[in-house]
Structures are given as structure tokens and as C-alpha cells.
Amino acid sequence: MTQEMKDYLKSEFSKIEQEIIRPHEELFPSSISLDDFYWAFGMIRSRAFSRLSGQLAMLPLVDFINHSSKITEEDNAEEMNGPAGLFSFDLLFCLKSTVAVKEGEQVFIQYGLKKSNADLALYYGFVEPNSGRDAYTLTFSIPESDPFFRDKVGIAKANDHDETAYFDVSMDGGIPPEMLQYLRISAIQQSDAFLLEPTFKSTIWAVVKLPLSRSNEEIVCGMVLDACKSALSGYHTTIEEDEKLLEGGNLEEKHEIAVRVRLGEKRVLQQIERDFKERRLTLDELEYYHERRFKELGLVRETGEIYCQPKDSIPSA
């Protein structure tokens, strides 16, 4: 369990103590400690099924089923009506295998195709050797000092983000498109501020799927590179040092898992750095908003030259 999660759970436990446990001590004959709360959270987080009527369900025996990376589908649980006694029917849980299983073979399920190695380690205590599970969560914020703070945060909230946004970047998944959209909004300066006007607010999120301007895209690259540099500086070992630790084969299980997770995170961060350093070198080759808009209005010749009136009104030579 990470320190951040422990701090969150400690805060939640304090609220539950004050609002529920202490006012109703008669309902809790045995004392409940913070460690008990950690344990209960761990059990629910690692064993509960969540795709049943939109609720979490703890299912004894069923939660013993193990994970396999060979299972590539998550459709392993469903609800169905079935007999719940001699004369009654009820909603029952059905566990199913997504692959053929021979008699006597162990049944496996997929714990989550989108879970990173950090997620697998945190919730289940193992990692996969598959580099596709390596990931890092980048965090970005719109500063309150930004002169367009309210407008930018309003656009972010209208598109399921906020003043601070989190984006999971995996080794195989590439940069999430919404991360670039959020950063382009965050990076808008005075020269592109017209796009924050009410006229554009209903379309701005679609507009920033593509680069806005060279200056905006340069700021975006800088924000990502700064975030990667800051994150990498927080590790006390290098990739090479982690690789040597793993090659030695002398690590305890938990220590090895931790090293594999941080090694994967650093590899992802370095890949992001390489990608955005390369992107910064190609800024002059990108097509920006004004160029796209001129093309839409028919103000660009086949040679790429921009003129001031629609083609149809240009007299022939």
C-alpha cells in the first residue's frame, strides 16, 4: 500500500470514527483500529467483484480464482436468475471461463487488462514480465495565477477533468489523446486566447485534438518534459542499477516486485521524454489551427500559399 493511499485511508477512517463508530458504540462491541480498516480495504480492493449491478460484491470461494496473463478477455462474471432454495429463485452470481478448460485443469480469469504493474502489485501482490503493463501516471495542473484560469478550468470540467488532471501513460499505449487536449488548453496564451471566447467553448475541446499554434505546442512539450524530469529525479536508482539488482536474483519477493515496478515506470518516463524531444524538433512541420482554418475557408492555393479571398472569386490569369 502506498503512503498516499495510507494517508487517504487514515483520513477516511477518522471521519468514520467520528460520524459512525463513536456515536454508535453499542453496534461495535469490539474495537476497530486503523490497521483493521487497512485490512478491510485491502480485502475489498483485491477480492471484490465490481461488475455486478454496479455494486461491489464479496463472494467467498469465488475470490480464490487466480489471474493469468494468457486470458485476454475480462468477460468472466455475470448475474443470472436461478434457484435459491426449494421453491424460490433469486439473482445468482455466475463465474465463467473465457477459454476452454479440461477436466482437472485450474480455471483462471483476467484481473484487468488496463491495470498496470503498479496496480497489480498494489492490489494483488504480483507483477507481469510484460512491458505493456509498465505505466506511469503524469499529473498536470492549471495554475491559479493563470490569467485565463477560470475559463480553462471550466473547459476542463466540461470534459471530465479538473484544475488538476491525471493521465496514465503505458509503454504500449502511447500518449492519451485527452492529455494533449488538456495540455493545449492549459498552455493557451494571449495570442490564442480568442479560442476561450464563448463562441468557441462548445467546440474548443474538439479543436485541441490537433495542434493550436507553434508557441502553444512548444509550451506543451516543455510541460511534459519538465514533468518527466521531475518524476525521474525522485528515484534514487538508475535503470542500470535496477537491472543489476534483478540480475543478481538475491531480492526478497516484495523487494523484487517494487524494483520491477519502479524500473517499468522509469522506462516509460524515458520513452515519453524521447518522444517529446523528437516532437519538439518537428514543430515547424506541424499544421496549426490557422492553417487548417484557412484551408476550410478555401484560402490556400495548391502551392500552400495563403491568399485573402476565396478561390472562386480570384480572377483567372
pLDDT tens per residue across span 282-315: 999 999 999 888 888 777 767 666 665 554 444 4
Distance of CA 194 to the CA centre of its chain: 30
Question: How far is 216 from 279, CA to CA, in rounded Å?
Answer: 13
Give the model's confidence band at 174: pLDDT under 50 very low, under 70 low, under 90 confident, else very high. Answer: confident
CATH classification for the domain delimited by 119-208+215-280, as one of 3.40.830.10, 3.90.1420.10, 3.40.50.300, 2.40.110.20: 3.90.1420.10
Q: Tell whether the model's pLDDT for residue 133 goes beyond 50.
A: yes
Out of 29-38, 57-66, 107-116, 196-205, pick the least confident.
57-66
Catalytic site includes residue 111: yes
What's the mean per-residue pLDDT of the chain? 88
pLDDT of residue 307: 64
pLDDT of residue 313: 47
For residues 227-246, give the mean pLDDT.
95
Question: How far is 17 from 10, CA to CA, in rounded Å?
Answer: 10
For residues 47-65, give the mean pLDDT.
78
Active-site position among 8, 38, 111, 289: 111
Domain boundaries, the chain: 1-47, 60-112, 119-208+215-280, 287-317
Question: How far is 212 from 187, CA to CA, in rounded Å?
Answer: 10
Question: How far is 303 from 317, CA to CA, in rounded Å?
Answer: 16
Query: Residue 303 is placed in which grid cell?
Result: 502551392
Residues 96, 78 contacting (CB under 8 angstroms): yes
Backbone CA torsion sign across 113, 118, 123, 127? positive
Residues 190, 223 contacting (CB under 8 angstroms): no
pLDDT of residue 265: 96
Give the model's confidence band at 52: pLDDT under 50 very low, under 70 low, under 90 confident, else very high. Answer: low
